[in-house]
Amino acid sequence: MSAAESYRRLLAHLAEAQTLASCASALEWDQETAMPPKAAAFRAEEMGLLARLVHERVTHPSVGAWLADCEADPALAADEDAAANLRELRRDFERATRLPSSLVAEMSETSSRAMEVWKEARQKSDFALFSPWLHKQIALHRQEAACYGTPEGGEPYDALLEGYEPGMRSTALERIFAPLREAIVSLLARIGEAPRKPDTALQRARFPVPAQRAFSRFIADRLGYDFEAGRLDESAHPFTSGMGPGDTRITTRYTEDRFLDALSSTMHEVGHALYEQGLPKSERWGQPLSEACSLGVHESQSRLWENQVGRSRAFWAWALPEARRHLGGELDRHGLDEVVGCANAVEASLIRVDADEVTYNLHVMLRFDLERALLRGDLEAGDVPEAWNARMRSDLGLTVPDDARGCLQDVHWSNGLIGYFPTYTLGNLYAAQLWEAAGAAMPGLADDVAQGRFAGLLAWLREHVHRHGRRWRAPELCRKVTGQALAHGPLVRYLEEKLRPVYGF
Amino acid sequence: MSAAESYRRLLAHLAEAQTLASCASALEWDQETAMPPKAAAFRAEEMGLLARLVHERVTHPSVGAWLADCEADPALAADEDAAANLRELRRDFERATRLPSSLVAEMSETSSRAMEVWKEARQKSDFALFSPWLHKQIALHRQEAACYGTPEGGEPYDALLEGYEPGMRSTALERIFAPLREAIVSLLARIGEAPRKPDTALQRARFPVPAQRAFSRFIADRLGYDFEAGRLDESAHPFTSGMGPGDTRITTRYTEDRFLDALSSTMHEVGHALYEQGLPKSERWGQPLSEACSLGVHESQSRLWENQVGRSRAFWAWALPEARRHLGGELDRHGLDEVVGCANAVEASLIRVDADEVTYNLHVMLRFDLERALLRGDLEAGDVPEAWNARMRSDLGLTVPDDARGCLQDVHWSNGLIGYFPTYTLGNLYAAQLWEAAGAAMPGLADDVAQGRFAGLLAWLREHVHRHGRRWRAPELCRKVTGQALAHGPLVRYLEEKLRPVYGF
């Protein structure tokens, strides 16, 4: 068989696997938005079966053989598209085939049991209950990391991080996180001593859910989300599912007295969805070139629309009259300064998912440091609460009243997402750096936003980020688009510039 | 391998195939209720892939080998459950393996193209456009029938009918349809000359859709539909999807000025859903014993709740106050007699799906006779409009103004559902015969219904119909439950008794 033929078969085979995986995405979306409760057990069986069929396909020995054929071919190596696909497919194949199925089964079983225990432990705020399960999760993830092998220039943690942020290393993160942390602590000090505080009363004003729903749809549409290729629904935890060509769905959630949160959720998911809608899925289904670059890059798209756009003064100059039109009365009594202040208020708090744009990153770094220490063996699972609480005190000046509001707050460790947290702050960093580059490339960007025109920004992101899929790893994509390696500077500058007028420091 | 082991493997293998088929059902439900339009092309690929994987599994040579092992085993033959499963699995395997894949592909391709042409032909009322496609569909279905082989004591049409109503033969249908037709024609004559006509003004009264929605949910709940294991949504064409254990979903549709139609749709789909919820899917997933007996029996469950229950005076004695409570004002001006008359008005009309309970069967018989003539070669596709129009005149006294309201009205022939129509009238026949048996077994049935108590009826149907799945073929099930072979008498008696007070004949 010619290498070209091997390549064709490889892609066809993987496109089919991807189509099966996409069926699972559709069922998952259904599970979160529509499925009746008594269907849960059977749905788990369906998902298990689809996962097994996908895994069988992506780890099939033919994949290895086709890959080897292709890799030996100079013509494919010289073809930029093919070379990028093959590089990423080799990586995926290696990762998919390195774990023994016994370990996969044990991890999956452990995660579902640990999740149950975690729910109870969090509810009772009883860390002792969860401690042995955290211990077991760490042990299993050390095994997992050992199977993958430590990436070049890395440590065991990197083998897990690599699953979410290919090409990223923890030492590289450390080099960015350290000055970022310093800058944030200094920023928080200035905010603490600032002469002004934003009036946040509006955060609790009540607006009927149907009106909020209409406003969210209006904003999503104006940002460029294609409703003909998607839906906006509601779920307990907002999410985006880019389930296939022409089908990228988002959810949000509305609470009467939290309209800014609902809007942020919507804009966040719209950001994810615009990325999914911008990937060349129709043309390259099943190829890495049509897949998201990394979780960090994905998060950068959601954060850019949620924060750089959605919390900007320019955005609200346009959006406030629109919000008044949709939400009515109450908003007439609040001016632009107040809304912008409200959307950008900074205050240290215990819970990551409720955190503001600044302190959020401290929550993430805390988890990153503890995870690394756990994996290295420098920290025992049982000592996590103490380490957590000490860090909350030193970083955020807060006393953790109980573990439910401390180290038991997040689902990640129970369901086995270890190495995942850094991608949240990576998202913020990439977003700020991309936003700076977009601003440099489009001097009229703020004016556009202030007039509700987002097509230019979206086109720029499509051109520079979305359409490339996994052509380059995230660090390289960042250098190509912004001219610089990822650094803390843009995020710090962005936060300072935005918060200065709000707090008057 | 022991026969017991072959049986175990056979059932496990088919349960997995059924789980995959169920994923397809979930995607189909999504397609009808939620999917964004641009996802259509990709969804077709997903469905195609799942269909192929299911087909590969159910026609796998191992299935034949396991079946042969099992069939040779006296212990399995003596086990009533296993014997029923094996009888039906053999049938399914034979049918699934007899069609060459080239014919399957040609039929599938032809159907999707014929559907497109039919849509245009119906829209333009231009039969000439559709005629060659109908010709082709008939030719392909003759080939299909030849592959299956004519069932014992049957004709080629029976090979197709067998796909929808196992064990039924067209000569048996003829023996029931002939006297039914005669009785209906006589009933229509009496209705035509009757001294009273029901006042049908209420049919067009307007009720807000949200109130109708709440009323539909209320009724579905009271009939016994388990909302914890299902949902009630809206779609252009109401349907039921019994997609798996704990997951049976229904849809209906509401129009402001057609509240009785919406209620009928809901009760119809609830009837289908109660059957699905009553099949022993959790215990016997993938086994014929947990599957619906036939389309006719399925339709009997929907028609029984829609008609025998939902159009009865007893039902409205309870439901009218409830309807007033939900739908308000307008209904206060209409009494029980008027509502019952309105729900039971009989009037010949051109369109099958809008037909009343009596004339509906004439529409079905017309199609059955034309389909048989087409398959036998006694009627040419090009001559269908003439045959159709003549029959509408003789049976219903109506002049067909154009083919859109004549032989182009139904989707079935374009998408290849030939041999399917009789199951609609079979549903009416089984419903009436089961209803008579239920009434005989539960003398208080009408009183129960008049008080909104449906649990006894549902329990009776669960006990006598639902829990058996495909244990017996429909004709045998009918004999076992009602003590009689299927006949026209119960349906005719039911219609006459109900319509006599309405029309005063």
Cβ–Cβ contact B152 with A under 8 A: no
Handedness of CA B392, B394, B395, B399 (dihedral sign): positive
- Please report which confidence band the pLDDT of residue B153 belongs to, taking 50, 70 and 90 as the band edges: confident
Contact criterion met (CB < 8 Å) for A45 and B231: no
Give the CA angle between residues A338, A343, A346 to the nearest 5°.
Answer: 105
> How far does the CA of residue A36 sit from the closest CA of chain B (Å)?
5
Number of neighbours of residue A292 by Cβ within 10 angstroms: 20
Q: What's the pLDDT at B152? A: 83
With H, G, I as helix, E, B as strand and everything else as coil, classify residue B412. coil
> pTM for this one?
0.94
**Residue A153 confidence (pLDDT) above 90:** no
Q: Which of A42, A57, A281, A285 has the highest number of chain B CBs within 10 A, making it the mutation to test binding with B?
A: A42
Catalytic residue among A88, A144, A162, A269: A269
- Nearest-CA distance A48 → chain B (Å): 10
Q: How far apart are CA A336 and CA A319, in angstroms?
A: 10
What residues of chain B lie within 8 A of the CB of A49, using their CB?
Answer: 16, 19-20, 23
Q: Which of residues 248-277 of A touch B (CB under 8 A)?
A: 249
Nearest to A230 among B22, B36, B249 (CB): B36
Give the type of residue at A323: A
Pairing mode of beta strands B232-234, B240-244: unpaired
Distance from CA of A105 to the nearest CA of B (A): 19
Q: CA neighbours within 13 Å on the CB side: how many for A173?
A: 31
The interface predicted TM-score (ipTM) is 0.93
Nearest CA in chain A to B247: A39
Q: What is the pLDDT of residues A173-183, one digit of tens each?
A: 999 999 999 99
A230 interaction partners in chain B (CB closer than 8 Å): 36
- Structure confidence by residue, pLDDT tens digits, A236-251: 899 999 999 999 999 9
CB-nearest partner of B38 from A37, A49, A229: A229
Residue A332: both structure tokens together: 């007439």
pLDDT band at B328 (very low <50, low <70, confident <90, very high): confident
Centroid of chain to Cα A475:
16
Q: Tell how far CA B329 is from the center of its chain.
A: 35
Measure CB to CB from residue A229 to each of B27, B39, B247 and give the nearest one.
B39
Q: What is the pLDDT of residue B381?
A: 97
The percent of residues in chain A predicted with pLDDT above 70, rounded, is 100
Q: What is the per-residue pLDDT for A152?
A: 83
Of B275, B246, B290, B283, nearest to B89 by C-alpha is B290
Residue B339 to residues A206, B259, B312, B333, B345: CA-CA distances in angstroms? 44, 11, 10, 11, 10
Instruction: Please tell me if residue B12 touches chain A, with a CB cutoff of 8 Å.
Output: no
Smallest CA–CA distance, residue B402 to chain A, in Å, is 35
Report chain A residues whose CB lies below 8 A from the CB of B38. Answer: 226, 228-229, 246-247
Residues A430-454 pLDDT 10s: 999 999 999 999 999 999 999 999 9
User: What is the arithmetic mean of pLDDT over B33-46?
Assistant: 94
Give B436-466 pLDDT, tens digit per residue: 999 999 999 999 999 999 999 999 999 999 9
In a 13 Å sphere around the CA of B363, the CA atoms on its Cβ side amount to 25
pLDDT surpasses 90 at A330 = no
CA distance B22 to B44: 16
Q: List CB contacts (< 8 A) between B42 and chain A.
A: 22, 244-247, 285
Number of neighbouring beta carbons within 10 Å of residue A309: 22
Task: Judge whether residue A329 has pLDDT over 80.
Answer: no
H or E segment to which residue A148 belongs: helix A127-148
Q: Give A272's contacts (C-beta < 8 A, 6+ positions apart).
A: A240, A242, A250, A298, A301, A302
- What are the chain A neighbours of B40 within 8 Å (beta carbons)? 246
What residue in B sits closest to A24 (Cα-Cα)? B23
Question: CA–CA separation, A465 vs A347, rounded Å?
Answer: 32
- Both tokens of B500, joined, read 């006599």
pLDDT score recorded for residue B329: 73
pLDDT higher than 90, residue B319: yes
Closest approach of chain A CAs to the CA of B231, in angstroms? 7
Whether residues A27 and B22 touch (CB distance < 8 A) is answered with no
Q: Decide if pLDDT at A154 tops 80.
A: yes
Is A233 strand, coil or helix? strand
pLDDT of residue A41: 92
pLDDT at position B203: 87
What is the phi-psi region of residue A504: left when phi exceeds 0, alpha when psi lies from -120 to 50, beta otherwise? left
- The pLDDT score that the predictor gives to residue A151 is 85
Among candidate residues B188, B356, B332, the one with its CA nearest the CA of residue B260: B356
The predicted pLDDT at position A140 comes to 97
Interval A103-147: pLDDT, tens: 988 998 899 899 999 999 999 999 999 999 999 999 999 999 999
Position B154 scores a pLDDT of 85
- pLDDT tens-place string over residues B332-378: 889 999 999 999 999 999 999 999 999 999 999 999 999 999 999 99
Lowest mean pLDDT among A158-167, A408-417, B148-157, B415-424: B148-157
Does the beta carbon of A359 lie under 8 angstroms from any beta carbon of chain B? Answer: no
Mean pLDDT of chain B: 96
Two tokens, residue A324: 């008044």
Characterize the bridge pairing of strands B240-244 and B247-252. Answer: antiparallel
Residue B242 has pLDDT above 80, yes or no: yes
**Could you give the domains of chain A?**
3-156 (1.20.58), 201-346+444-472 (no CATH)
Is A296 within 8 Å of A161 (Cβ atoms)? no
Question: CA B40 to CA B36: how far, in whole Å?
Answer: 8
Span A377-396, average pLDDT: 96
Q: Could you tell me what percent of chain B has a pLDDT over 90? A: 93
pLDDT in tens, A267-298: 999 999 999 999 999 999 999 999 999 999 99
- The band of B330, judged by pLDDT with boundaries at 50, 70 and 90, is confident
Q: Is residue B407 scored above 80 in pLDDT?
A: yes
What are the percentages of helix, strand and coil residues in chain A, rounded to 5? 70, 5, 25
CA distance A263 to B395: 61
User: For residue B349, what pLDDT is reported?
Assistant: 95
The residues of B carrying an active-site annotation are 269
Q: Cβ-count burial of A262 within 10 angstroms (0-12 exposed, 13-18 middle, 19+ buried)?
A: buried
Cβ separation A23–B22 shorter than 8 A: no
